[in-house]
Amino acid sequence: MTILPVIPTSPDQPDAVTTKRRPSMPPRHLADLDLAARKVAVTTLGEPAFRAKQLSTHYFGRLVRDVGAMTDLPAASRERITGDLLPTLLTPVRELACDDGATRKTLWRLHDGALVESVLMGYPDRVTACVSSQAGCGMACPFCATGQQGLTRNLSIAEIVDQVVYLAGVAASGAVTGSPPRLSRVVFMGMGEPLANYPRVIEAVRRLTAPAPEGLGLSQRHITVSTVGLVPAMRRLIAEELSVTLALSLHAPDDDLRDELVPVNQRWKVAEVLDAAFDYAARTGRRVSIEYALIRDVNDQPWRADLLGRLLHGKLAHVNLIPLNPTPGSKWDASPKPVEREFVRRLREAGVATTVRDTRGREIDGACGQLAAGELTEASAGGAADAEVAQ
């Protein structure tokens, strides 16, 4: 593991870890707005309308996030624009690299002191950004580090987009060893439940997929939205007619166990949530990804593999098994490899495409929320004033 130096992007920002602040939404940013709204915003600032496209080309086209580096802008305009359209939203607290530089994780502090994480994962043929959609999470899944923290607040559109633009810049700098320099995929598998921050996540997807300079120009098919299974929001997503990939965190094929592992199951049951996922697949023609964290002696029994196989047989779905990454103090552990292999074998025998997710970033607490959780533990150990930030 390598701890990378953190370059302060906003020296004027007070140290939020020692400052008590209430969670609050950040100031407006260029990435919150579509191109038409950016034009209105710049003219309101007394800038010419073409400035909207110029700024957008810098930010989305060249991945320049700092107005100071936009040297073709008059100095007076830069100042106005920094304050009104390009405020610093994300301040790096910690950057870690592992897997020989192919995995990089950034822990961010937001303007109100909330902490979120993003991960950049390089492969020989692609680079993927894993981003957060909320600070904390309200879904309370007991095996997930973020689930233990509770929800602090939703991220703004721009707080989501800015994580991706930053990571695309890291990829473009050639820092991801052995991978192409272009970020091509985004997965909403960082902190938070994306469908609980629905309108902002959808707008962020629109910004990420709009052609440059309005947006980042990524393919919708290369964006994955992962959900615990908020059925009404899944149905709303079907109606958006987007072609993003949907991942459903199932983790158990039976209601008894899923009620415990994914508490929102008490509201929307396995049958109902799978129905919504299959409808999404049918409407978009895109295979849904069924996420299943294998937990030793909890959900890894052969009969559960068989039941899952029966539920998914003949459906436009594949299973992505995730070896559990135990959270500190957790009573649960990953399944032994022979048990995992048997689980895979049974699913495949039932005709269900199954993969086992690689364990990227384990060394740097790559699992959901663990880096932020570690930082919060350290922060609260530092004194009572810090504990507030940990909420």
Query: Are residues 156 and 200 in contact, defined by beta-carbon separation less than 8 angstroms?
Result: yes
Q: Which of 284, 325, 335, 354 binds ligand SAH (CB under 6 A)?
A: 325
Name the amino acid, one letter, at 320: N
Distance of CA 103 to the CA centre of its chain: 15
Rule CB under 6 A: say whether 368 interacts with ligand SAH: yes
Cα(38)–Cα(36) distance, rounded to whole angstroms? 5
- Residue 327 within binding range of ligand SAH, rule CB under 6 A: yes
Stretch that binds ligand SAH, among 75-83, 199-207, 236-244, 317-325 (CB under 6 A): 317-325
- Does residue 88 belong to the site contacting ligand SAH (CB under 6 A)? no
**Footprint of ligand SAH on 130-149 (CB under 6 A):** 139, 141, 143-144
String of DSSP letters for 129-176: EE--SEEE-SS--TT-HHHHH-EEEEPPHHHHHHHHHHHHHHHHTT-S
How many residues interact with ligand SAH (rule CB under 6 A)? Answer: 18
Rule CB under 6 A: say whether 284 interacts with ligand SAH. Answer: no
Q: Which residues pair with 294 in a beta bridge?
A: 323
Is the link from the previous residue into 199 a cis peptide, with omega within 30 of 0? no
SS3 230: coil
**Which structure tokens are listed for 141?**
């899944």
Stretch that binds ligand SAH, among 120-128, 173-181, 296-304, 320-328 (CB under 6 A): 320-328
60 binds ligand SAH (CB under 6 A): no
Is 144 assigned a ligand-binding role in the annotation?
yes
Q: Which stretch binds ligand SAH (CB under 6 A): 16-24, 66-74, 221-229, 342-350?
A: 221-229
CB of 248 to ligand SAH, least distance (A): 7
- In a 13 Å sphere around the CA of 267, the CA atoms on its Cβ side amount to 9
Q: Is 98 a known ligand-binding residue?
A: no
The secondary structure element, H or E, covering residue 325 is none
175 neighbors 103 (Cβ within 8 angstroms): no
Q: How big is the CA angle at 358 (ends 357 and 360), to the nearest 5 degrees?
A: 125
Q: Are 163 and 132 in contact (CB under 8 A)?
A: yes
Closer Cβ to ligand SAH, 166 or 188, answer by number: 188
DSSP code, position 334: B
Active site residues: 117, 368
Residue whose CB is less far from ligand SAH, 347 or 368: 368
Residues 6+ apart with CB under 8 A from 119: 103, 104, 105, 106, 129, 130, 190, 360, 361, 366
- Residue pointed to by tokens 């005709």: 351
- Closer by beta carbon to ligand SAH, 96 or else 321: 321
Kindly state the smallest distance separating residue 43's Cβ from ligand SAH, in Å.
39
Residue 228 binds ligand SAH (CB under 6 A): yes
Output the six-digit token pair for 140. Answer: 């309370």
Of the listed pieces 74-82, 209-217, 321-329, 342-350, which binds ligand SAH according to CB under 6 A? 321-329
Span 238-267, contacts to ligand SAH by CB under 6 A: 249
Q: Is 249 labelled as part of a ligand binding site?
A: yes
Query: CA–CA separation, 30 vs 249, rounded Å?
Result: 32
Among 226, 265, 289, 354, binds ligand SAH (CB under 6 A): 226
Was 193 annotated as part of a binding site? yes
The correct pick among 119, 273, 324, 364 for binding ligand SAH (CB under 6 A) is 324
Q: Can you say which residues are annotated as belonging to the binding site for S-adenosyl-L-methionine?
A: 192-193, 226, 249-251, 325
Which residues of the shown chain bind ligand SAH in the complex (CB under 6 A)? 139, 141, 143-144, 189, 193, 226-228, 249, 291, 293, 322, 324-325, 327, 367-368
Q: Can you say which residues are annotated as belonging to the binding site?
A: 137, 141, 144, 192-193, 226, 249-251, 325
